[in-house]
Amino acid sequence: MRPRISIIVPTLDEGALIGRLLEQLQEARGSGHEVVLVDGGSRDDTKRLAAPAVDLLLESRPGRGGQLNRGARASRGRWLWFLHADSLLPDGWLGHLERACEEADGWGFFQVRLAGRRWSYRLIETSMNLRSCLTRMATGDQGIFVERSLFFAAGCFPDIPIMEDLVLSRRLRRRPPYCIRSPILTSARRWERHGILRTVLRMWTLRFAFWLGVPPRRLARHYRPCSSPDTES
């Protein structure tokens, strides 16, 4: 029987975190959905830990956009849900997602919450969620989901080192996105590692430069210092 939803997770050296997400995703597998993991060449135990907990384990050259496209092409679901390995899902997430796939006009995303108790994280996540609602532009941390036919009609993710999620959103936003208000909890490790203010300013600068037309491959050199983990998938 064809799965209704394919959950696609890109990884690169995520052995420390992947187990907790895959444990949550077993609920989806039990409901007949599909979990596809696309590894970009991990040197840790990511693939060994993931193998028993996924329906399809693929390998790809590193690069999040390419990995996600590889998973999408190999998957079988009518809906594709692209999920980062450092995410944790809210209570009732599967019901929210299934309902969204019934009601959405082709695509949507979750709101996001950053792990950690600092008041500054509340400001960051609030601004991220507000920006997404106003601009119809979502980031990969928000768990973008899209109907399969629409994803391929939009040209998939671009083969660029960063900003692939924003490019896809730009292609899709002619349709109003469905926003699931129960937030995905995402790791705050990049802010913890490099400093909150420094990371926020760098990300704003990179996005503004991207909007001005600076090539993503050039921007990628400046993105690496604020990426996470040490090697970004």
Q: Looking at per-residue confidence, does 217 or 170 come out higher?
A: 170
**Angle made by CA atoms 137, 29, 186, in degrees to the nearest 5:** 35
Q: What is the mean pLDDT of the chain?
A: 89
Quickly count: other Cβ atoms within 10 Å of residue 2's Cβ: 9
- Residue 40: the pLDDT is 96
Model pTM score: 0.88
Domain ranges for the chain, please list them: 5-188
Is the CATH number 3.90.550.10 carried by domain 5-188? yes
- Helices then strands, each counted (H, E), the chain: 10, 8
Tens digit of each residue's pLDDT (9 = 90 or more) over 14-33: 999 999 999 999 999 999 99
Quickly state the pLDDT bin for 221 (edges 50, 70, 90): low
Q: Residues with Cβ < 8 Å from 30, sequence gap 6 or more? A: none
Radius of gyration of the chain, Cα coordinates, nearest whole angstrom: 16
Tens digit of each residue's pLDDT (9 = 90 or more) over 100-141: 999 999 999 999 999 888 888 898 899 889 989 899 999 999
Q: CA nearest 17: which of 186, 150, 205? A: 186
